Amino acid sequence: MTLTILAATPIIGALLLAFLPREAAPNMRAKTVALGVALITLVLSFVMMAQFDRGESGYQLTEKHTWIKAFGAYYSLGVNGIGVTLILLTTILTPIVILAAWGDRLPDAKSTNAYFAWMLAVEGLAIGAFAATDAFLFYVLFEATLIPLYFLIGTFGGPNRSYAAVKFLIYNLVGGLLMLASIVGLYVVSSKDGSPSYLLSDLQNLDFSTNTERLLFLGFMAAFAIKAPLWPLHTWLPDAAGSATPGTSVLMVSVIDKIGTFGMIRWCLGIFPGASDWASPVVITLAVISILYGALLAIGQDDIRRLIAFTSVSHFGFIILGIFAFTSTSMAGSTLYMFNHGLSTAALFLVTGMMIARRGSARISDFGGVQKIAPIMSGVLLVAGLSSLSLPGLAPFVSEFLVLAGTFTRSVPAAVLATLGIVLAALYILIMYQRTMTGPLKVGNEGVVDLEPREIASLTPALVLIIGLGFFPQPLLNVINPAIDDVVSHIGKGDPAPRTPTSIDSAPTEGGSK
């Protein structure tokens, strides 16, 4: 029951907030309840980690109950090293977001309950999606995450919130409909023997024809590529992130979008290994384009929030590249990248959100010289930015290195082109930092004040983890690696043999022998 309790706790907290009497500003009761529920969920995730056997590659903490018998749908949960890592990320980020969002300006004081209730709903639904081992249950949770995010963007976002929320919803609903078509296809295939099932363990043993497998794979992959987001299906993200509050952007990009890349591993590779191999050249090409395209567009942005959104398009390109390189090194790097990207992007969105709230503008050109009057804010932005560009010693470096090293053994051109993204990342981060923080203090920035104790407290856990995992990532890799080895074995893609200097080895010796 551990996973059920873990997912249900924030959902119950959201319902409690919905029925809690609304108060005028600052409505501390709603904020305190939301933070308390998020912290309880975090503690429960530590209990989950304590019960999880790091040496096992299969699914643990499993639960299975008949749900809709006619469909063969079960309420079935379980986690391997990949799922447990992303659940931990979700439970770490949610209290950080809630604490950082205490000072957010809302449409009216009485909307505080709804604001934090939707955040808790996102957390609970994300945990359920990461734990679901029934395809129908996963689909329901996958689609349900759209509801709280739609209201968080459309109700509490900036001037263009309505357009951004509708675009976000339409893109993801189209992806969901394509997945639903494949879900129906799975029912048809699995019911041929008279006992339909959506359980992952049963779906992995289905006998597909080649064309059927590829068609069903495309339905799942399209939904995950939109969610991830993969070029050219990414255009909803900059608009949504540019209009959402910082906390909403963190939950959307650092947590919910990870369901897309997580789904590629659990469902695409898990059910359709042959079709995944068939599609890998195209997916790898699109991933490399995402890396370079996202980085190039980030360099040209003047809106800080859109800049971070485009950096995430680039980062998700690295994650997808590592997944479809099909090596244990690259896939372990991708899973670690999901966790580390969540931390670095959360720190970036939150600290820049604090900057924007003080200045009243998201335009980079409106800032300048801020480090003179806000040194702590400047320092946090620097660490978060250097983390985003994968500076050695900070967490994303290890994951990016593993992705590139693993990809290099499978596709040298893809790895070489992807490496250019690292150079571009240095440009978009350092240019942004230089224009906002250094130089003389620009007119209009005089009222920018440094971070408050509450804001420092909200950012500190993410910064500590970014630095700690940069020097010592092994605890997370010990959790991830057994699951990755199981996935690589399942898809039948062993790691390529190390490249050897065959031309030297085969050269004749002075005596004429080899």
For the segment 296-330, what is each residue's pLDDT rounded down to a tens digit?
Answer: 999 988 899 999 999 999 999 999 999 999 899 99
d(CA 370, CA 438): 7
Tens digit of each residue's pLDDT (9 = 90 or more) over 405-443: 999 988 899 999 999 988 888 888 899 999 998 888 888
| 261 contact partners, CB below 8 Å, separation of at least 6 | 224, 228, 316, 319, 320, 323, 334, 338
Question: Taking 70 as the threshold, does the pLDDT of residue 498 lie above it?
Answer: no
Question: Taking 50 as the threshold, does the pLDDT of residue 514 lie above it?
Answer: no
CA distances from 32 to 42, 112, 121 (A): 15, 11, 16
Tens digit of each residue's pLDDT (9 = 90 or more) over 437-462: 888 888 888 888 889 999 999 999 99
Q: What value does the mean pLDDT take over residues 475-479? A: 92
Where in the chain are the domains? 272-495
The H or E element that residue 75 is part of is strand 73-79
Question: Taking 90 as the threshold, does the pLDDT of residue 140 lie above it?
Answer: yes
- Higher-confidence position of 359 and 107: 359
d(CA 337, CA 494): 21
| 443 contact partners, CB below 8 Å, separation of at least 6 | none
Tens digit of each residue's pLDDT (9 = 90 or more) over 236-280: 999 999 889 999 999 999 999 999 999 999 999 999 999 999 999
Amino acid code (one letter) for 19: F
Residue 262's closest CA among 122, 90, 121? 90
**HSE-CB for 332 with a 13 A CA cutoff:** 23
Q: Which residue has the tokens 């042959």?
A: 274
Q: What is the dihedral of CA 277, 280, 282, 286, to 10 degrees?
A: 160
Tens digit of each residue's pLDDT (9 = 90 or more) over 166-217: 999 999 999 999 999 999 999 988 888 778 889 998 888 888 889 999 999 9
Residue 246's closest CA among 118, 123, 346? 346
Joined together, the tokens standing for residue 267 give: 């469902």
pLDDT of residue 181: 94
CA distances from 214 to 160, 272, 275 (A): 39, 8, 5
Joined together, the tokens standing for residue 177 give: 């409909």
Tens digit of each residue's pLDDT (9 = 90 or more) over 86-122: 999 999 999 999 999 988 787 776 788 889 999 999 9
Cβ atoms within 10 Å, residue 242 = 22
pLDDT of residue 25: 64
Q: Which residue has the tokens 């080899």?
A: 514
* Strand-strand pairing, 73-79 and 60-68: antiparallel
d(CA 320, CA 225): 9
pLDDT band at 491 (very low <50, low <70, confident <90, very high): confident
CA distances from 363 to 127, 228, 366, 432, 441 (A): 35, 26, 5, 10, 15
Joined together, the tokens standing for residue 438 give: 């250094």
CA distances from 236 to 240, 284, 407 (A): 6, 21, 28
pLDDT of residue 217: 95
